[in-house]
Structure 1
Amino acid sequence: MPGDGGRVLTEDRLRGVLDLFERLRERPTRRWRERVRPLLLLVGAGNHTRHVADLLLKRCEDERAPVSHIAAETAATDVAGVLREAKRELSQPSSRPRGEPPLRFPLLDMALWLSDLREIRVAGDRPIPRNLTHAERENRKLVQRLTHPPIGDNENSRRRELNRVIRSRGRDVLRDLDEGHRSRPATFLAFLEQIAPIGVAAVALISAGTAAALDLAAAGFAAALGLAFVAVQIVARTRGWAGVLRYRWFTRQPYIDSDSTGFLGFALAAFDPRPSEPEDQREQLDLLLVAAFLEDLRRNYRRTIWRAAWARVRYPVLIFEHLDARHAGVEFVELVERVRADRQGDARQRDWDPLVITVGVDATSPAHDDPSAPSGRRLIDRLSRDDRIELWSGEADDVVAARRLWDSYWREQSRVRALGSQRVLRVDITRDAEGDMPLPRKSRRRPRVTHPALPWIAMVAVLAASVTVVAVQAVKYCSPLQIRRTSHGECIGITDGSFKFAEDSEGANNDNRLSPILKRLKKQNDEVKESGKPYATIVYLGPLTADPAIKNRQLDLLAGAQGELAGLVIAQRRFNDAYPNMRLRVLIANAGAKFRYAPEVAEQIRSRALRDRSIVAVVGFEQSRKKTQQAIRVLAKSALPLIGTANSYGRTAWLDSAGRYSPYYFRLAPPNARLARHAAFWARDGQINGVRAKSVDVIYDADEDDLYSRDLATQFQQAFVKAGGKRPRTWAYKDPGDLDKAVRQACLKPSDLFYYAGRSDEFRGFVNVLELACGGKSRLVLADDEIAKYVSDNAQEIGSKGTFTLYYTPLAAREAWIPRWIGPGQAPQTFYTDYTPTVADLFGKNAPADRRPSVTRAAVSYDAATLVANVANSVYYEQQTRPTAGAVFAALNDPERDVLPNGASGVLRFGPTSTGHQVLDKPVLLATVKKDGSQEVTEVCGRLVASGQGKGDCPPGD
């Protein structure tokens, strides 16, 4: 190894130098600690500095840290050559850890390219060298086109041609990355790392949050929008204009004067040499090259959100093995310090660069390789003097210059903070120190959080978590469009018919009793939209899914909801065919089995009504439950008219305990008190199979959420006593086991009549236990309209059984429209003539009886939709504008108007708000199921038709 005076320059002897070198190139952990590094001068003979340079180079290469080694005999003859060599070596795979992207030099590349064009332009007609590379040949062709443009607008032609080439260079982002001898896939991954992990993770989080807060449709839209934005960012960064944007830095540099604005004008100014001061122009271009090099390094180490910049814990090192006055490195070092001083003096560009420069120099080497230069001056002093910062010239300023002293002082202080008070560190590597030297400081390791795989791992983790959230939401949602899946497995929400509720367990739509009707509603709704005519919208709120606890398909009892939807289909078609200027649209809202989710769905309807002003009313509310009551209170806040179809609990629309009814709720069904009074009268009067009942057993559902059953049982009990009968026994049940026990106990000593005030869901269990426990004699059973759903599906079975005879009080019945009740010569309500062909068209002529809709519920929903449509149409003709919910409510609230004088369930005229908008003199029917499964209406009380109605056996005063 090299030595001095017989002593070898070993690593042990150079521990101090190595420790200083480590401190210089170690990057601080905090942004505010970063400073421009001083120049390290290693003073010694050429063989000494060469040995030390090799040691420093080896330490960098062992760590795969960025380093460039410029040998004493380098072929670089100018500053541009030094920069090319430095850029090439700093971009080598050996200058970065595995998996890390290389240092990039887009500004230096552009500056060198402009410098090459300028050199070709200056060379003029000199002989063309042989063995030119493809890039050099292309540059010469470009210079030829720029120097001799086509005849015409020469300046514009030059600008267009140069702009085309610049954009082409700016477009090839992957080429910039690929200069470090990387494969294209790895290059593209490094490029994507700046966009994809953060972008995809952000999109995933937004989508998951949107799915949880809103719905899957919004989540899908957010994901598509976000991914499109990420894709656009990726594509945009490979476009020419995006590449050119990074060259705007050149326009802010002071080294090349441009007569026009923008980078294109700057490039033309750099290309065209001025005839005067060629040396000064050459120096200015060299300063620009050095400034571009330092700016590229600064950007590579800028602490932004990109991981790679934080992972670089070692500053790039430029090692000049040994300099003499002839070496291009001397001018390069001087220019670096000039650029640094200029940048710190300019408030707009005050910043730091991470470059560490070490220079080997002989203490006796002359400062200039020029015989005419003054003798005695050394190169080491030249470098040290040029790099020294003078805070004060030693002379006092005059009174005029005094006003600038503070600005000058502050500017110099800023330069000191950035550059330090000393710009050169000298080390005589041939001098030994006494005593033992400590080992050089250990290298700082890359932070674990900056591992190159971490962004992708984090992205995958966030993406997986978000996919999980969206998957959970996908399970939660039956459809992206506001159709949510409940904890019971039901699908609830609003649809225009496009979503099919109540699919069976196999998911076969052809066996779904609601799908054909919903499909028809969707078709008719689409026709409304396509017509372009004004329309009014009603929303049907009902239980469109069977209780998931019911596994037997025969017990789903969706005939009620199926019938109400069928009535809506008929009402919509008839209205849209009859009126040329107005249309009716129908939306369907599923509140779940037993109206479990009615309040939540009511909130959806309310929100939708605020956005869609065509919604003028909500119909349905067929079950009298607490949830239904809560839904009515929610919707009443929207001032929407609410039409109850089969809801008969008298206080369903109570707003509070003071007995105030909601002014917006209109009831089509007779209240329980009226139904019970008629049922008790007929039981006592012998209308139930000719038996004058003296005693009755009342069965009812004691579920606290059920407002209907207990109230009906109480009302019947009181009415029966008033009619002269014995106080009925009451039997409550909450589950099938209770029902079985109650019926068995009642059958120990059965009464003359069983009055079933329970729900249709349990009616099959009731008659089965009745048949087993009260055998030997046919029992009489009287029930309310609630079991109309059961009768619709099981009429044939009920008639064929000899164990009980069933009478019930339906809200409407086709069998009531016969001459006995409507009068001779009067035609039945047109609904019933449309009903049979419509059902056959929807479900087929041979559809099983237990899959057909309830005609009773179809009639009342038909009346609800028709009366709203007719009122809306009247408002439209009266006001010549699209009807609003407020206008429809005002018309419904008019006590002098028969809103539907020929309804399928009777004449409809609403009473005052004080009585809950009951239909005045609403018909109450008594029907029975005959042995062949057909039905017969035996009594009609109330106003079924406007005139000519037959007289029935009714309670006094009815």
Structure 2
Amino acid sequence: MREPVTRPRPVREQLPSGGPELLTLLARLLRRPRRGDRRLPLLWLVRPAADGATAALLRRFAARRAGRRVPHAVLDLAGRPAGDDVAAVLRELHRQLSVEAFGAPRLRFRHYPLADWLMHQTLAVDLDAADSGRAALVRRLRDWRGRRAGDDPQVGGDSGLGTAVHLLLWLLWRAVPSVVFRIAVSGRVPLVGRQYRWFMRQQYLAPRQSVTFLGFAERLTAGWRDGEHPAQVEKLLLHAFLEDLRLAYRRRFWRPGDWRRTAYPMLVLDGARPDNVGHTLVRLVDEVRNETGRNDPLLVVAVAADPPPEPAAARPLTQAEEVYEEWAEALPENRRLRRPGAWLMLLEADDRDVDVPVGGVPPALVAPDPPWWARRFLPAAVALALVAGLGVWAHGRWAPDCRPWPADRVSVRLVGGECVGYSDTAGQVFNSEPGQDRLRAVQRRIFAQNRAAEEVWRRSDHRRPYLTLVYLGSLTGNRTRADEESYVSEREELEGMATAQYALLQESAAADDAALLHIVVANAGRQMRHAGDAVRMLEGLARDDPTVLGVVGLVDSRTSTAAALRELNRVGLPVLAPTLSADRMDANSSLYLAMSAPNRDQARMVEAYARQVLRVGEAHVYWTTGDRSSLTDDLYVATLVDGLRERFGDRITRLDEWRSGRRLTQECGYPGMLFFAGRWSEFDGFMRALKECGANPPRHLVADDSVNRYMANPGLRASAPGNLPVTYVSKAALATCAALRTAQAGRDDARGSFLTWIGADGLLDPPRCRAGTGPPVGERVSLAYDATMMTVRALESLAARLRHADTGRRWEPRSVNPVGVHAEVLRQNAAGGYPGVSGLIRYAPDSGEPVAKRLALLTVAKVPDVDAAPVEVFHCGVADAGPDPGCRATPR
């Protein structure tokens, strides 16, 4: 036979009659509202058979969940020594509530521990020894505060250095902490020593009678405390304890951790009697709440066999909810009248126990979950979201040398692997590639001069005219060797603008009519491919900054450059292009002004040179457009080839595209003119292809003005293949070192001053055109200088007219606009042209291309010979003034 199965009896807890109502009320009181706080009663539970079962049960439910628990402390008063006082009970309560065991941040106490610590200090009570007692208290208090000075550090030796080090260490170890401590205990400095200030502002023990906190603290020490009222001392301790709970439970919207405290702390006093410390503590909490008018988050539950002596009627435990509602309604009036027992709520249980299964117990005393936005995962989630968002935002926009952080006059982002945008500060310098040190150096020089110009303008009380010009060029994108400078043209144009900026800074401080120049450097990427992005950024700059009056640069004549010109015209910014020479680029902008002759003038000069000097009847022309480009996109090459076709006609017996790797043996010994009509970046490969000719090279190798960029690069020239002579077009032959020295000797002020500036210390690196030393000036330096100074002189002319009646008037940037400055340039130009360093600059009506601008052909006998200066052999156009002399050979 099968044995009968014995089923275990359900576990039951002994609850007093009305126990479920009690737990329901406690669950309600301990649950902290999402908004505001509730007032908590002093609950006195009368149970004749007070054997500790109720307190144990309450404690069990307070710890029922392993995660978030109600902060609680249970004191078995029957098991404590008979001599226990309020101080001892508070000390035990502090110990239990300070434990980090409730699934929430630890309750931190600041005021109560200090008060309790002071009560344990013993000082001399002799008036004669009072001073030494005060000093001892200060020393102990400073050490207790956590700033222990320790022993003085020892420094050996009697040298002066040892003494100085010893003094310094003494200051760091002793003097500084002592000064900080004195400031803190004084209570006179906001945000420092708040806990000391609180003791002097609370109401117990008349703290104002002590004048200072140190005096008040001395009154709390053993011996000195004998003269104080014991009840006042107990209330001070209790008030400090409750103040720490108030601070722990305050809610600040900027600290999510404050909102994680979702349950009030609970104190269970088991075995309280009217004649023991349990009743004393309940009475003191009632009095402190009444006297201070402050609420606190502590729920006190006293379990006793007898009611308290305060006049209050006990109600059955089964009516707990109703009793609480009545108590809460009467509390405002009772506390206002300071009635004894105003905070006391008395409930009574009979001696009959009822078995209640644990599973049927009402809501457990556990801490509710915090709101989702205050949970511990949120800071980590927010941090991860921010990092992820930053990563998504920075992806494709950020690089070690391209940091798109919001800043004044800095706006950059990574586009196609290039840092595109603008900057006027050394915090963002374009191009971190090896070999481009000089390009970075001139940017830093400009940015330093920007700060100097701002300072001079400030010291002039803003009287001097002030303008901002943007340099827009291709500052990134070329593949370079570690020892190769690949951005010579851009660097030279920046040097020209830096020279103009430097010259203006040399004007007298009293010259209120002399303008000051601020330069913003902008990068449009390789071959100006990202000019649209750069212009959109500059549009915002021009809108926000009224001093922005124009753009200088745009180094390549391409369809992307033409699109940028149209955008800049829409924005209303004039463009002064030092080297753009594609025909009819001015059709893209009514505010466009070129500093160099158009390609049709270059084609005219090349044809005249072939006919008058070389005396050849035919020509072979090869064109290139560079990497990832075409003849349709490259307006410079396209218009130059068209101009050569027009000038030479059928005398061009070969017109072909040359690409890297293609052989040129068919040109060996060619007696006519072999013309390179392409980009400088392919010229080195073109010459390497001609190296196969050996001792039978083409007789007349001529190259366009783009090759200037190659010839200005000593590193490329030094490694050039063969010893071929090359003749190439120059747009600024009047600004070579020799020509500038001749002009200076002839008292040409414009070119003489320019020669002085480019040779000055601390401007260009290295200085140019110094006697017997230094590299050549570089033709784009003078062209960019002319473009900059032409705009500056127009602004100065406008400023003079605007201020003709009041010379002491401040300069108002909004009194002029970019279009007005462009109009003033043309007005001044109509009077006879601008006498630029690179030659006279004149414009025909309704045209942005210069008329009869001087061009020249320069020859070098051997390309790798970087020390040999090129020689001018032919030129066209006007140098300074007068009619166009046409094209002719340059006398030697």
TM-score w.r.t. the length of structure 1 is 0.62
Aligned positions of 1:691-730 closer than 5 A? 691-693=616-618, 696-700=621-625, 702=630, 705-721=633-649, 725-726=650-651, 730=655
Q: Counterpart amino acid of 1:666? A: L
Cα 1:899/1:107, change in 2 over 3 Å:
farther
Q: Counterpart amino acid of 1:811? A: K
- The aligned counterpart of 1:39 is 43
- The aligned counterpart of 1:830 is 752
Superposed CA deviations along residues 662-690 of structure 1, whole A, max 9, x for unmatched, are 23x2211222333334434544xx14622
In the alignment, the residues of structure 1 paired with residue 276 and residue 57 of structure 2 have an alpha-carbon distance, to the nearest angstrom, of 22
Cα 1:456/1:704, change in 2 over 3 Å:
same
1:894 positional shift:
0.7
- The aligned counterpart of 1:587 is 519
Cα 1:299/1:479, change in 2 over 3 Å:
closer
Superposed CA deviations along residues 362-415 of structure 1, whole A, max 9, x for unmatched, are 5xx7969xxxxxxxx99957999999869999xxxxxxxxxxxxx999999xxx
Q: Counterpart amino acid of 1:629? A: A
In the alignment, the residues of structure 1 paired with residue 16 and residue 98 of structure 2 have an alpha-carbon distance, to the nearest angstrom, of 24
Aligned positions of 1:568-607 closer than 5 A? 568-574=497-503, 576-577=505-506, 581=511, 582-585=514-517, 587=519, 589-591=521-523, 592-607=525-540
Q: Which has the higher helix share?
A: 1
Cα 1:424/1:728, change in 2 over 3 Å:
farther
In the alignment, the residues of structure 2 paired with residue 60 and residue 818 of structure 1 have an alpha-carbon distance, to the nearest angstrom, of 97
- The reply on whether 1:915 has 2:847 as its aligned counterpart is yes
In the alignment, the residues of structure 2 paired with residue 69 and residue 891 of structure 1 have an alpha-carbon distance, to the nearest angstrom, of 93
Q: Is the 8 A contact 1:61 1:94 kept in 2?
A: no
Aligned positions of 1:107-186 closer than 5 A? 133=119
In the alignment, the residues of structure 1 paired with residue 91 and residue 318 of structure 2 have an alpha-carbon distance, to the nearest angstrom, of 25
- The aligned counterpart of 1:784 is 704
In the alignment, the residues of structure 2 paired with residue 778 and residue 438 of structure 1 have an alpha-carbon distance, to the nearest angstrom, of 107
- The reply on whether 1:513 has 2:435 as its aligned counterpart is no
1:645 positional shift:
0.7
Which of 559, 565, 571 matches 2:488? Answer: 559
- The aligned counterpart of 2:606 is 679
Q: Is the 8 A contact 2:758 2:768 kept in 1?
A: no
SS where residue 894 of structure 1 aligns? helix
In the alignment, the residues of structure 1 paired with residue 429 and residue 297 of structure 2 have an alpha-carbon distance, to the nearest angstrom, of 66
SS where residue 14 of structure 2 aligns? coil
- The aligned counterpart of 2:267 is 318
- The aligned counterpart of 2:303 is 359
1:51 positional shift:
5.2
SS where residue 827 of structure 2 aligns? coil
Which of 854, 861, 883 matches 1:930? Answer: 861
Superposed CA deviations along residues 87-130 of structure 1, whole A, max 9, x for unmatched, are 641443675517855545778899x99xx9xxxxxxxxxxxxxx
Cα 1:310/1:915, change in 2 over 3 Å:
closer
Q: Counterpart amino acid of 1:714? A: D
1:796 positional shift:
6.7
- The aligned counterpart of 1:866 is 789
SS where residue 400 of structure 2 aligns? helix
Cα 1:899/1:852, change in 2 over 3 Å:
farther
- The aligned counterpart of 1:624 is 557
- The aligned counterpart of 2:352 is 431
- The aligned counterpart of 1:403 is none
1:709 positional shift:
1.9
Q: Is the 8 A contact 1:909 1:920 kept in 2?
A: yes
Cα 1:314/1:570, change in 2 over 3 Å:
closer
Cα 1:785/1:139, change in 2 over 3 Å:
farther
Q: Counterpart amino acid of 1:809? A: V
- The aligned counterpart of 2:5 is none
Cα 1:889/1:851, change in 2 over 3 Å:
same
Superposed CA deviations along residues 730-789 of structure 1, whole A, max 9, x for unmatched, are 4346xx54xx44x65986998944443321111212232244489944154443222111
- The aligned counterpart of 1:539 is 469
- The aligned counterpart of 1:67 is 73
In the alignment, the residues of structure 1 paired with residue 887 and residue 233 of structure 2 have an alpha-carbon distance, to the nearest angstrom, of 112
Q: Counterpart amino acid of 1:320? A: L
In the alignment, the residues of structure 1 paired with residue 94 and residue 198 of structure 2 have an alpha-carbon distance, to the nearest angstrom, of 21
Q: Is the 8 A contact 1:624 1:648 kept in 2?
A: yes
In the alignment, the residues of structure 1 paired with residue 678 and residue 368 of structure 2 have an alpha-carbon distance, to the nearest angstrom, of 75
In the alignment, the residues of structure 2 paired with residue 342 and residue 134 of structure 1 have an alpha-carbon distance, to the nearest angstrom, of 26
In the alignment, the residues of structure 1 paired with residue 355 and residue 720 of structure 2 have an alpha-carbon distance, to the nearest angstrom, of 120
Q: Counterpart amino acid of 1:31? A: R
Q: Counterpart amino acid of 2:266? A: V
Superposed CA deviations along residues 141-172 of structure 1, whole A, max 9, x for unmatched, are 9xx99xxxxxxxxxxxxxxx9xxx9xx99x99
In the alignment, the residues of structure 2 paired with residue 462 and residue 246 of structure 1 have an alpha-carbon distance, to the nearest angstrom, of 41
- The aligned counterpart of 2:480 is 550
Superposed CA deviations along residues 886-937 of structure 1, whole A, max 9, x for unmatched, are 353332021664575432222122333x323x22322233333335864333
Q: Counterpart amino acid of 2:683? A: F
- The aligned counterpart of 2:822 is 889
Which of 89, 93, 113 matches 1:89? Answer: 93
Cα 1:677/1:530, change in 2 over 3 Å:
same
In the alignment, the residues of structure 2 paired with residue 571 and residue 720 of structure 1 have an alpha-carbon distance, to the nearest angstrom, of 40
- The aligned counterpart of 1:194 is none
Cα 1:478/1:292, change in 2 over 3 Å:
closer
Cα 1:60/1:284, change in 2 over 3 Å:
same
SS where residue 639 of structure 2 aligns? helix
In the alignment, the residues of structure 1 paired with residue 475 and residue 568 of structure 2 have an alpha-carbon distance, to the nearest angstrom, of 22
Q: Counterpart amino acid of 1:66? A: H
- The aligned counterpart of 1:902 is 835
Unmatched segments (≥5 aa) in structure 1: 1-9, 117-131, 146-160, 184-231, 272-280, 369-376, 394-406, 413-418, 656-660
In the alignment, the residues of structure 2 paired with residue 863 and residue 303 of structure 1 have an alpha-carbon distance, to the nearest angstrom, of 66
Q: Is the 8 A contact 2:316 2:348 kept in 1?
A: no
Which of 690, 704, 708 matches 2:615? Answer: 690
Q: Counterpart amino acid of 2:72? A: P
- The aligned counterpart of 2:879 is 944
Which of 570, 574, 583 matches 1:650? Answer: 583
Unmatched segments (≥5 aa) in structure 2: 1-10, 149-183, 221-228, 335-340
- The aligned counterpart of 1:127 is none
Q: Is the 8 A contact 2:263 2:368 kept in 1?
A: no
In the alignment, the residues of structure 2 paired with residue 850 and residue 356 of structure 1 have an alpha-carbon distance, to the nearest angstrom, of 94
1:58 positional shift:
7.0
CA RMSD of aligned residues (A): 6.3
Structure 1 range deviating more: 597-606 or 442-451:
442-451
Q: Counterpart amino acid of 2:352? A: R
Q: Is the 8 A contact 2:877 2:885 kept in 1?
A: no
1:715 positional shift:
3.3
SS where residue 51 of structure 2 aligns? helix
SS where residue 646 of structure 1 aligns? coil
- The aligned counterpart of 1:157 is none
Q: Counterpart amino acid of 2:521? A: A
SS where residue 349 of structure 2 aligns? strand
Cα 1:545/1:314, change in 2 over 3 Å:
closer
Q: Is the 8 A contact 2:465 2:515 kept in 1?
A: yes
SS where residue 568 of structure 1 aligns? helix
Q: Is the 8 A contact 2:730 2:856 kept in 1?
A: yes
SS where residue 477 of structure 1 aligns? coil
Aligned length: 766
Aligned positions of 1:176-215 closer than 5 A? none
Cα 1:757/1:291, change in 2 over 3 Å:
same
In the alignment, the residues of structure 2 paired with residue 682 and residue 467 of structure 1 have an alpha-carbon distance, to the nearest angstrom, of 60
